[in-house]
Amino acid sequence: MATKPLLYLDEYKLKQDANDYGLADEFWDFERFKQQLQIVVVRYEENELEFDMIGVNPAVANMFRRLMLSEVPSMAIEKVHIYNNTSIIQDEVLAHRLGLIPLRADPRMFEYKANETDPPTAQDSLEFELKVKCTRKNKDTNEVTNDDNMYKNHSIYSGQIKWVPIGNQSAVYTEAAVGPIDDDILISKMRPGHEFDIKLFAVKGVGKDHAKFSPVATVSYRLLPEIKLNRPVVGNDARLLQKCFSPGVIEIAKDDQAYVKDARYDSCSRNVYRYPQIADAVTLARVRNHFIFTVESLGSLKPDVIFVEAAKVLKKKCRMFLDEIKGN
């Protein structure tokens, strides 16, 4: 087998390497798996992580993707008690909108609620309130176009949600550590006479129960592209070849000849096959066991922490499965 197991991208189909029999030819071996597995962090920004997972099959890669999406817990608003809502938004729509506001609270500091009918406690819940009323600023003004000059509280944002500590929570947390991640999420537009009097209760949950509990905006992976030039491509053909790929993939040298600068960020669109004069000049492939992961966190947990928590969930599931097999 070749050093890199490749999948070739022809114009209309995928083709395996002649010496690579694919996943059907690979028997599971734990020691070999440990030797081949690599995690390489490529880019780490505030809430976004890009890393490579090398030496695994698609089932393992997809397992981590699904765990990060749906089984790593977070805190989200679950109960909404509406005492007064005179806005134009129906109670059900308002409650759903409030539930989707991401919270900064660290879920590792809280327990799962044992019974949803139990009263909230400092260990399993967070309480918030939203009390606002829209009023006219100056009845005598002739202003008719600028809402900021005409009304007070005409736009209600997530930053107006206030935390109400339960028990001794004020000694453990701060409002900035448990409140909404973003203060500028628009909840409602209001006019004089419109009012909110709402209590909100957040609990710990997982994304497989409801998407609001997912700690990530998205988790995705793709196979590492590999591009090989079969012959020199110069002049206008080189510039045409460059336009067939994502920016930064193909560059043109001083001698007007095209070369592969960085195949990593190619979208593998196969546009090059549209032009007969350069279709044979390039071989497109993807490395079958090299996955490029992108994790975008909402902010309650850092993306690297989300991956570690996913690994902990997997470890717990494996232990439960082994206990079932052993009959414990």
For the chain, domain boundaries: 38-72+215-225+288-327, 73-213, 231-280
C-alpha 112 chain-centroid distance = 23
Count of C-beta atoms within a 10 Å radius of residue 260: 16
CATH number of 38-72+215-225+288-327: 3.30.1360.10
pLDDT of residue 220: 96
pLDDT of residue 1: 43
Tell me which fold the domain 73-213 belongs to.
RNA Polymerase Alpha Subunit; Chain A, domain 2 (2.170.120)
328 residues of the chain, pLDDT tens digit each:
447 888 899 988 888 877 766 666 667 788 888 888 999 999 999 899 999 999 998 999 999 999 999 999 999 999 999 999 999 999 999 999 999 999 999 999 999 998 888 999 999 999 999 999 999 887 766 666 777 888 899 999 999 999 999 999 999 999 999 999 999 999 999 999 999 999 999 999 999 999 999 999 999 999 999 999 999 999 999 999 999 999 999 999 999 999 999 999 898 889 999 999 999 999 999 999 999 999 999 999 999 999 999 999 999 999 999 988 887 6
pLDDT of residue 31: 87
The residue type at 320: M
pLDDT of residue 2: 46
State how far the Cα of 162 lies from the Cα of 106, in Å rounded to an integer: 17
pLDDT of residue 140: 64
pLDDT of residue 143: 62
